[in-house]
Protein backbone atom coordinates (compact mmCIF):
# COMPACT_ATOMS: atom_id res chain seq x y z
CA UNK A 1 0.00 0.00 0.00
CA UNK A 2 1.31 3.47 -0.86
CA UNK A 3 2.61 5.57 2.00
CA UNK A 4 -0.26 7.25 3.83
CA UNK A 5 -2.97 5.46 1.83
CA UNK A 6 -6.24 5.08 3.72
CA UNK A 7 -7.88 2.28 1.74
CA UNK A 8 -7.20 -0.27 -0.96
CA UNK A 9 -10.15 -0.10 -3.36
CA UNK A 10 -10.89 -2.26 -6.41
CA UNK A 11 -13.37 -1.01 -9.03
CA UNK A 12 -15.02 -3.52 -11.35
CA UNK A 13 -17.11 -2.98 -14.46
CA UNK A 14 -18.36 -5.62 -16.89
CA UNK A 15 -18.92 -3.44 -19.98
CA UNK A 16 -16.83 -4.37 -23.01
CA UNK A 17 -17.68 -1.24 -25.01
CA UNK A 18 -14.80 0.78 -26.43
CA UNK A 19 -16.87 3.96 -26.16
CA UNK A 20 -16.90 5.86 -22.89
CA UNK A 21 -20.33 5.45 -21.30
CA UNK A 22 -21.83 6.26 -17.93
CA UNK A 23 -20.24 3.40 -15.96
CA UNK A 24 -16.81 4.23 -17.33
CA UNK A 25 -17.29 7.92 -16.54
CA UNK A 26 -18.37 7.01 -13.02
CA UNK A 27 -15.38 4.81 -12.22
CA UNK A 28 -12.85 7.14 -13.82
CA UNK A 29 -14.23 10.16 -11.97
CA UNK A 30 -13.70 8.36 -8.66
CA UNK A 31 -10.39 6.71 -9.57
CA UNK A 32 -8.84 9.94 -10.79
CA UNK A 33 -9.38 11.66 -7.44
CA UNK A 34 -9.13 8.78 -4.99
CA UNK A 35 -5.85 7.47 -6.41
CA UNK A 36 -4.21 10.56 -4.89
CA UNK A 37 -4.81 9.27 -1.36
CA UNK A 38 -5.81 5.61 -1.68
CA UNK A 39 -4.53 2.53 -3.48
CA UNK A 40 -6.89 2.19 -6.45
CA UNK A 41 -7.21 -0.83 -8.73
CA UNK A 42 -9.51 -1.37 -11.71
CA UNK A 43 -10.59 -4.73 -13.15
CA UNK A 44 -12.31 -4.50 -16.53
CA UNK A 45 -12.47 -6.45 -19.80
CA UNK A 46 -9.38 -6.25 -21.98
CA UNK A 47 -9.87 -3.66 -24.72
CA UNK A 48 -12.79 -1.92 -23.01
CA UNK A 49 -12.90 1.85 -22.65
CA UNK A 50 -12.46 1.56 -18.88
CA UNK A 51 -9.45 -0.74 -19.19
CA UNK A 52 -7.83 1.68 -21.64
CA UNK A 53 -8.72 4.94 -19.92
CA UNK A 54 -7.95 3.80 -16.36
CA UNK A 55 -4.43 2.86 -17.49
CA UNK A 56 -3.89 6.54 -18.29
CA UNK A 57 -4.60 7.63 -14.71
CA UNK A 58 -1.40 8.01 -12.64
CA UNK A 59 -1.23 5.66 -9.68
CA UNK A 60 -4.07 3.35 -10.79
CA UNK A 61 -3.34 -0.35 -11.32
CA UNK A 62 -5.38 -1.90 -14.12
CA UNK A 63 -6.11 -5.58 -14.65
CA UNK A 64 -7.84 -7.45 -17.47
CA UNK A 65 -10.85 -9.30 -16.11
CA UNK A 66 -13.77 -10.97 -17.89
CA UNK A 67 -17.29 -11.12 -16.45
CA UNK A 68 -18.90 -14.02 -18.34
CA UNK A 69 -22.41 -15.41 -18.02
CA UNK A 70 -21.78 -19.05 -18.92
CA UNK A 71 -21.42 -21.23 -15.83
CA UNK A 72 -18.18 -22.98 -16.82
CA UNK A 73 -16.59 -19.60 -17.56
CA UNK A 74 -17.94 -17.87 -14.47
CA UNK A 75 -16.03 -20.03 -11.99
CA UNK A 76 -12.74 -19.62 -13.86
CA UNK A 77 -13.25 -15.84 -13.91
CA UNK A 78 -14.17 -15.86 -10.21
CA UNK A 79 -10.93 -17.67 -9.35
CA UNK A 80 -8.99 -15.07 -11.33
CA UNK A 81 -10.72 -12.23 -9.49
CA UNK A 82 -10.23 -13.96 -6.12
CA UNK A 83 -6.50 -14.32 -6.83
CA UNK A 84 -6.29 -10.61 -7.60
CA UNK A 85 -8.16 -9.66 -4.42
CA UNK A 86 -5.98 -11.91 -2.28
CA UNK A 87 -2.70 -10.95 -3.91
CA UNK A 88 -3.37 -7.22 -3.66
CA UNK A 89 -5.02 -7.45 -0.20
CA UNK A 90 -8.03 -5.51 -1.43
CA UNK A 91 -10.15 -4.05 1.38
CA UNK A 92 -13.18 -2.92 -0.62
CA UNK A 93 -14.63 -3.88 -4.01
CA UNK A 94 -16.92 -1.35 -5.69
CA UNK A 95 -19.14 -3.14 -8.22
CA UNK A 96 -21.31 -1.44 -10.83
CA UNK A 97 -23.61 -4.02 -12.38
CA UNK A 98 -25.13 -7.45 -11.85
CA UNK A 99 -22.42 -9.34 -13.78
CA UNK A 100 -19.46 -7.95 -11.84
CA UNK A 101 -21.47 -7.96 -8.60
CA UNK A 102 -22.19 -11.67 -8.98
CA UNK A 103 -18.58 -12.43 -9.78
CA UNK A 104 -17.30 -10.42 -6.80
CA UNK A 105 -19.71 -12.30 -4.53
CA UNK A 106 -18.50 -15.66 -5.82
CA UNK A 107 -14.86 -14.61 -5.69
CA UNK A 108 -15.07 -13.59 -2.02
CA UNK A 109 -17.17 -16.47 -0.65
CA UNK A 110 -15.41 -18.29 2.16
CA UNK A 111 -12.67 -15.68 2.60
CA UNK A 112 -13.65 -15.16 6.23
CA UNK A 113 -11.85 -12.28 7.91
CA UNK A 114 -9.93 -11.61 4.67
CA UNK A 115 -13.15 -10.90 2.74
CA UNK A 116 -13.23 -7.36 1.37
CA UNK A 117 -16.33 -5.27 1.81
CA UNK A 118 -18.50 -4.89 -1.29
CA UNK A 119 -20.22 -1.66 -2.33
CA UNK A 120 -22.76 -1.81 -5.16
CA UNK A 121 -23.93 1.15 -7.24
CA UNK A 122 -27.21 0.93 -9.14
CA UNK A 123 -26.92 2.99 -12.32
CA UNK A 124 -29.93 1.89 -14.35
CA UNK A 125 -33.70 1.38 -14.22
CA UNK A 126 -33.68 -2.38 -14.80
CA UNK A 127 -35.83 -4.34 -12.33
CA UNK A 128 -33.97 -6.16 -9.57
CA UNK A 129 -34.69 -9.88 -9.72
CA UNK A 130 -35.96 -11.15 -6.38
CA UNK A 131 -33.88 -14.32 -6.07
CA UNK A 132 -30.56 -13.12 -7.50
CA UNK A 133 -31.07 -9.76 -5.79
CA UNK A 134 -31.64 -11.50 -2.46
CA UNK A 135 -28.46 -13.55 -2.90
CA UNK A 136 -26.34 -10.53 -3.79
CA UNK A 137 -27.89 -8.37 -1.06
CA UNK A 138 -27.35 -10.97 1.66
CA UNK A 139 -24.05 -12.53 0.62
CA UNK A 140 -22.30 -9.86 -1.44
CA UNK A 141 -23.28 -6.33 -0.38
CA UNK A 142 -22.16 -4.19 2.54
CA UNK A 143 -23.52 -0.92 1.17
CA UNK A 144 -25.61 0.04 -1.88
CA UNK A 145 -25.63 3.40 -3.66
CA UNK A 146 -28.32 4.83 -5.93
CA UNK A 147 -27.06 7.47 -8.36
CA UNK A 148 -30.34 9.33 -7.87
CA UNK A 149 -33.38 9.14 -5.62
CA UNK A 150 -35.19 7.11 -8.28
CA UNK A 151 -32.45 4.46 -8.17
CA UNK A 152 -32.33 4.48 -4.36
CA UNK A 153 -36.10 3.89 -4.24
CA UNK A 154 -35.65 0.89 -6.53
CA UNK A 155 -33.07 -0.47 -4.09
CA UNK A 156 -35.35 0.19 -1.13
CA UNK A 157 -38.19 -1.67 -2.87
CA UNK A 158 -36.02 -4.77 -3.37
CA UNK A 159 -34.02 -7.25 -1.28
CA UNK A 160 -31.40 -4.49 -0.91
CA UNK A 161 -33.70 -2.83 1.62
CA UNK A 162 -31.83 -4.88 4.25
CA UNK A 163 -28.56 -3.18 3.30
CA UNK A 164 -27.22 0.22 4.21
CA UNK A 165 -28.37 2.55 1.39
CA UNK A 166 -27.43 6.01 0.20
CA UNK A 167 -28.14 8.39 -2.68
CA UNK A 168 -25.01 9.86 -4.28
CA UNK A 169 -25.55 11.76 -7.50
CA UNK A 170 -22.90 11.79 -10.20
CA UNK A 171 -20.42 14.63 -9.91
CA UNK A 172 -19.02 16.82 -12.66
CA UNK A 173 -15.71 18.71 -12.69
CA UNK A 174 -17.00 22.27 -12.91
CA UNK A 175 -13.48 23.63 -13.44
CA UNK A 176 -13.05 21.51 -16.57
CA UNK A 177 -16.58 21.80 -17.94
CA UNK A 178 -16.80 25.60 -17.95
CA UNK A 179 -18.79 27.91 -20.23
CA UNK A 180 -15.66 29.35 -21.84
CA UNK A 181 -13.62 26.17 -22.41
CA UNK A 182 -12.56 25.87 -25.14
CA UNK A 183 -14.28 28.92 -26.58
CA UNK A 184 -12.59 29.32 -29.97
CA UNK A 185 -12.92 25.63 -30.86
CA UNK A 186 -16.59 25.73 -29.92
CA UNK A 187 -17.29 28.72 -32.15
CA UNK A 188 -15.48 27.14 -35.08
CA UNK A 189 -17.43 23.90 -34.64
CA UNK A 190 -20.69 25.82 -34.33
CA UNK A 191 -20.00 27.60 -37.61
CA UNK A 192 -19.40 24.24 -39.34
CA UNK A 193 -22.53 22.65 -37.89
CA UNK A 194 -24.78 25.60 -38.72
CA UNK A 195 -23.86 25.20 -42.36
CA UNK A 196 -27.20 26.30 -43.82
CA UNK A 197 -27.78 30.09 -43.87
CA UNK A 198 -31.23 29.69 -42.25
CA UNK A 199 -29.90 27.75 -39.25
CA UNK A 200 -29.76 29.77 -36.03
CA UNK A 201 -30.45 27.31 -33.21
CA UNK A 202 -28.21 24.31 -32.52
CA UNK A 203 -29.79 21.53 -30.45
CA UNK A 204 -27.51 18.73 -29.38
CA UNK A 205 -26.76 15.80 -27.13
CA UNK A 206 -23.57 14.06 -26.02
CA UNK A 207 -25.59 11.36 -24.23
CA UNK A 208 -25.07 8.75 -26.95
CA UNK A 209 -26.97 7.46 -29.96
CA UNK A 210 -28.64 4.28 -28.70
CA UNK A 211 -32.34 4.19 -29.54
CA UNK A 212 -33.34 4.35 -25.86
CA UNK A 213 -31.63 7.74 -25.57
CA UNK A 214 -34.72 9.16 -27.28
CA UNK A 215 -32.92 11.50 -29.66
CA UNK A 216 -35.13 10.41 -32.55
CA UNK A 217 -38.02 11.91 -30.58
CA UNK A 218 -36.26 15.27 -30.84
CA UNK A 219 -35.79 14.76 -34.59
CA UNK A 220 -39.49 14.00 -34.96
CA UNK A 221 -40.47 16.95 -32.77
CA UNK A 222 -38.46 19.34 -34.92
CA UNK A 223 -39.98 17.82 -38.07
CA UNK A 224 -43.43 18.79 -36.76
CA UNK A 225 -42.53 22.46 -36.27
CA UNK A 226 -43.96 25.10 -38.58
CA UNK A 227 -41.70 25.56 -41.60
CA UNK A 228 -40.33 28.94 -40.47
CA UNK A 229 -39.20 27.51 -37.12
CA UNK A 230 -38.00 24.17 -38.48
CA UNK A 231 -35.76 25.98 -40.96
CA UNK A 232 -33.85 27.58 -38.07
CA UNK A 233 -32.94 24.34 -36.27
CA UNK A 234 -29.94 22.03 -36.62
CA UNK A 235 -29.56 18.91 -34.46
CA UNK A 236 -26.09 17.57 -33.58
CA UNK A 237 -25.34 14.18 -32.02
CA UNK A 238 -22.17 12.78 -30.45
CA UNK A 239 -21.74 9.05 -29.92
CA UNK A 240 -21.60 5.77 -31.79
CA UNK A 241 -22.32 5.67 -35.55
CA UNK A 242 -25.97 5.85 -36.47
CA UNK A 243 -27.57 2.58 -37.55
CA UNK A 244 -29.19 2.03 -40.92
CA UNK A 245 -32.62 1.98 -39.28
CA UNK A 246 -31.93 5.26 -37.48
CA UNK A 247 -30.80 6.93 -40.70
CA UNK A 248 -33.86 5.57 -42.47
CA UNK A 249 -36.10 7.11 -39.81
CA UNK A 250 -34.37 10.47 -40.20
CA UNK A 251 -34.93 10.32 -43.95
CA UNK A 252 -38.56 9.25 -43.46
CA UNK A 253 -39.11 12.37 -41.35
CA UNK A 254 -37.55 14.55 -44.03
CA UNK A 255 -34.81 15.63 -41.60
CA UNK A 256 -31.65 14.48 -43.38
CA UNK A 257 -30.30 18.04 -43.74
CA UNK A 258 -31.20 18.93 -40.16
CA UNK A 259 -29.25 16.18 -38.36
CA UNK A 260 -25.46 15.93 -38.05
CA UNK A 261 -23.56 13.13 -36.35
CA UNK A 262 -20.12 14.26 -35.14
CA UNK A 263 -18.79 10.85 -34.02
CA UNK A 264 -17.41 9.61 -30.71
CA UNK A 265 -15.58 12.38 -28.86
CA UNK A 266 -12.88 11.96 -26.23
CA UNK A 267 -13.26 15.64 -25.32
CA UNK A 268 -16.86 16.86 -25.62
CA UNK A 269 -16.29 20.44 -24.49
CA UNK A 270 -16.11 22.11 -27.90
CA UNK A 271 -19.22 20.19 -28.95
CA UNK A 272 -21.16 21.27 -25.86
CA UNK A 273 -19.88 24.81 -26.17
CA UNK A 274 -21.29 25.03 -29.68
CA UNK A 275 -24.84 24.24 -28.55
CA UNK A 276 -27.73 26.53 -27.71
CA UNK A 277 -29.82 23.84 -26.05
CA UNK A 278 -28.96 20.33 -24.89
CA UNK A 279 -31.27 17.37 -24.53
CA UNK A 280 -31.37 13.92 -22.90
CA UNK A 281 -34.68 12.24 -23.76
CA UNK A 282 -34.05 8.68 -22.58
CA UNK A 283 -37.01 6.35 -22.10
CA UNK A 284 -35.20 3.28 -20.76
CA UNK A 285 -32.05 2.22 -18.85
CA UNK A 286 -30.86 5.75 -17.98
CA UNK A 287 -31.32 7.16 -14.50
CA UNK A 288 -29.34 10.39 -13.98
CA UNK A 289 -26.94 11.09 -16.93
CA UNK A 290 -23.40 12.41 -16.75
CA UNK A 291 -23.99 14.04 -20.15
CA UNK A 292 -26.83 16.18 -18.76
CA UNK A 293 -24.68 17.51 -15.94
CA UNK A 294 -21.72 18.14 -18.25
CA UNK A 295 -23.92 20.29 -20.48
CA UNK A 296 -25.37 22.14 -17.48
CA UNK A 297 -21.88 22.74 -16.09
CA UNK A 298 -20.93 24.40 -19.38
CA UNK A 299 -23.86 26.77 -19.07
CA UNK A 300 -26.27 25.00 -21.40
CA UNK A 301 -29.93 24.52 -20.50
CA UNK A 302 -31.12 20.96 -21.03
CA UNK A 303 -34.44 19.39 -21.97
CA UNK A 304 -34.85 16.03 -20.26
CA UNK A 305 -37.55 13.39 -20.35
CA UNK A 306 -39.48 12.41 -17.24
CA UNK A 307 -37.78 9.01 -17.22
CA UNK A 308 -36.02 7.68 -14.13
CA UNK A 309 -34.01 10.26 -12.22
CA UNK A 310 -33.49 12.65 -15.15
CA UNK A 311 -35.94 15.23 -13.72
CA UNK A 312 -33.78 15.37 -10.57
CA UNK A 313 -31.24 17.34 -12.61
CA UNK A 314 -33.64 20.12 -13.56
CA UNK A 315 -35.60 22.92 -11.94
CA UNK A 316 -38.27 23.33 -14.65
CA UNK A 317 -38.36 26.72 -16.41
CA UNK A 318 -35.32 27.84 -14.42
CA UNK A 319 -32.33 25.83 -15.69
CA UNK A 320 -34.04 23.49 -18.15
CA UNK A 321 -37.28 21.76 -19.03
CA UNK A 322 -38.87 18.36 -18.39
CA UNK A 323 -41.18 16.67 -20.90
CA UNK A 324 -43.06 13.37 -20.56
CA UNK A 325 -41.02 10.52 -22.01
CA UNK A 326 -41.89 9.55 -25.61
CA UNK A 327 -44.33 12.50 -25.86
CA UNK A 328 -43.27 14.07 -29.16
CA UNK A 329 -46.28 16.37 -29.18
CA UNK A 330 -45.34 17.98 -25.85
CA UNK A 331 -41.75 18.31 -27.02
CA UNK A 332 -42.88 20.11 -30.18
CA UNK A 333 -45.00 22.49 -28.12
CA UNK A 334 -42.01 23.26 -25.90
CA UNK A 335 -39.84 24.04 -28.94
CA UNK A 336 -42.59 26.28 -30.34
CA UNK A 337 -42.42 28.19 -27.04
CA UNK A 338 -38.62 28.40 -26.83
CA UNK A 339 -37.46 29.04 -30.38
CA UNK A 340 -39.15 32.42 -30.85
CA UNK A 341 -37.71 33.49 -27.45
CA UNK A 342 -33.96 32.85 -27.82
CA UNK A 343 -33.10 35.02 -24.80
CA UNK A 344 -34.58 32.31 -22.55
CA UNK A 345 -31.76 29.91 -23.40
CA UNK A 346 -28.70 31.80 -22.09
CA UNK A 347 -30.66 32.82 -18.98
CA UNK A 348 -31.53 29.20 -18.23
CA UNK A 349 -27.98 28.15 -19.10
CA UNK A 350 -26.53 30.54 -16.53
CA UNK A 351 -28.89 29.07 -13.93
CA UNK A 352 -27.79 25.55 -14.94
CA UNK A 353 -24.16 26.52 -14.40
CA UNK A 354 -24.95 27.95 -10.95
CA UNK A 355 -26.74 24.76 -9.95
CA UNK A 356 -23.78 22.60 -10.99
CA UNK A 357 -21.33 24.71 -9.01
CA UNK A 358 -23.60 24.61 -5.98
CA UNK A 359 -24.88 21.02 -6.08
CA UNK A 360 -23.21 18.77 -8.66
CA UNK A 361 -19.50 19.29 -8.01
CA UNK A 362 -17.27 16.24 -8.32
CA UNK A 363 -15.65 17.02 -4.96
CA UNK A 364 -18.95 16.39 -3.17
CA UNK A 365 -19.54 13.22 -5.18
CA UNK A 366 -16.15 11.84 -4.15
CA UNK A 367 -16.53 12.86 -0.52
CA UNK A 368 -19.92 11.16 -0.17
CA UNK A 369 -18.61 8.02 -1.86
CA UNK A 370 -15.66 7.88 0.54
CA UNK A 371 -18.09 8.19 3.43
CA UNK A 372 -20.06 5.23 2.01
CA UNK A 373 -16.81 3.24 1.90
CA UNK A 374 -16.08 4.15 5.52
CA UNK A 375 -19.54 2.92 6.56
CA UNK A 376 -19.06 -0.34 4.65
CA UNK A 377 -15.71 -0.86 6.39
CA UNK A 378 -17.16 -0.02 9.81
CA UNK A 379 -15.16 3.21 10.02
CA UNK A 380 -18.11 5.60 10.25
CA UNK A 381 -16.22 7.73 12.73
CA UNK A 382 -13.45 8.31 10.18
CA UNK A 383 -13.38 11.95 9.07
CA UNK A 384 -13.09 12.18 5.30
CA UNK A 385 -11.79 15.54 4.15
CA UNK A 386 -13.41 17.12 1.10
CA UNK A 387 -11.47 16.58 -2.12
CA UNK A 388 -9.15 19.46 -2.81
CA UNK A 389 -9.44 21.02 -6.23
CA UNK A 390 -5.80 20.12 -6.84
CA UNK A 391 -6.80 16.46 -6.49
CA UNK A 392 -9.03 16.61 -9.52
CA UNK A 393 -6.40 16.70 -12.24
CA UNK A 394 -7.14 18.24 -15.62
CA UNK A 395 -8.40 15.40 -17.80
CA UNK A 396 -11.83 14.16 -16.73
CA UNK A 397 -13.75 11.71 -18.82
CA UNK A 398 -15.75 12.77 -21.84
CA UNK A 399 -18.37 10.98 -23.88
pLDDT digits (tens, 9 = 90+) for 345-374: 999 999 999 999 999 999 999 999 999 999
Whether residue 389 has pLDDT greater than 90: no
- How would residue 259 be classed by pLDDT, with cut points 50, 70 and 90? very high
Structure confidence at residue 18 (pLDDT): 76
Task: Give mean pLDDT, residues 72-93.
Answer: 96
HSE, side-chain direction, 13 A CA sphere, residue 381: 0
Least Cα distance to 175 among 327, 361, 386, 38 occurs for 361
Q: What is the DSSP letter of 172?
A: B
What's the pLDDT score for residue 376? 96
Alpha-carbon dihedral angle through residues 55, 24, 149, 137, given to the nearest 10 degrees: -80
Phi, psi (degrees; rounded to nearest 5) at 307: -75, 140
What pLDDT score does 5 carry?
A: 55
pLDDT band at 104 (very low <50, low <70, confident <90, very high): very high
pLDDT mean across residues, the chain: 93
Residue 390: the pLDDT is 39
**Residue 296 burial (CB < 10 Å; 0-12/13-18/19+)?**
buried
Considering only residues 209 and 383, tell me which one the structure prediction assigns the higher pLDDT. 209
Residue 177 pLDDT: 96
Predicted pLDDT of residue 290: 95
What pLDDT is attached to residue 75? 93
pLDDT digits (tens, 9 = 90+) for 237-252: 999 999 999 999 999 9
The pLDDT of 127-142, averaged and rounded, is 95
pLDDT band for 267, please (50, 70, 90 cuts).
very high
- Kindly report which listed range (58-62, 147-151, 181-185) carries the lowest average pLDDT score: 181-185
Task: Yes or no: say if 362 and 387 are a contact pair by the CB < 8 Å rule.
Answer: yes
- Kindly indicate the confidence band of residue 17, based on its pLDDT and cuts at 50, 70 and 90: confident
> Span 299-323, mean pLDDT?
98
Q: Answer yes or no: are the C-beta atoms of 134 and 155 closer than 8 Å.
A: no
Taking 80 as the threshold, does the pLDDT of residue 398 lie above it? no
Give pLDDT, residue 1: 56
Q: Which of 44, 37, 136, 140 is nearest to 84 (CA)?
A: 44
Using an 8 Å Cβ cutoff, are 41 and 61 in contact? yes
Judged against a pLDDT cut of 90, whether residue 319 lies above it is answered with yes
Amino acid sequence: MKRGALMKVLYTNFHTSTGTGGHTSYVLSLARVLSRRHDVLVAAPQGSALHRRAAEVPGVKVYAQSFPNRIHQVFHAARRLRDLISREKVELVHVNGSADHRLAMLATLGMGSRRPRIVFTKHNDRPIARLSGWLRANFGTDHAIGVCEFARRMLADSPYRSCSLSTIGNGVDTCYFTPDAPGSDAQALRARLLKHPDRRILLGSNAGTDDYKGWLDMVEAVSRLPQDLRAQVQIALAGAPLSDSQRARIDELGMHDHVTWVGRLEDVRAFIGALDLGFVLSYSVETISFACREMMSMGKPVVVSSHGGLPENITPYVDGWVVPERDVGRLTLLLEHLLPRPSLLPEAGAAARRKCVQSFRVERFVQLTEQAYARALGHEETAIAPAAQSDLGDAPVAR
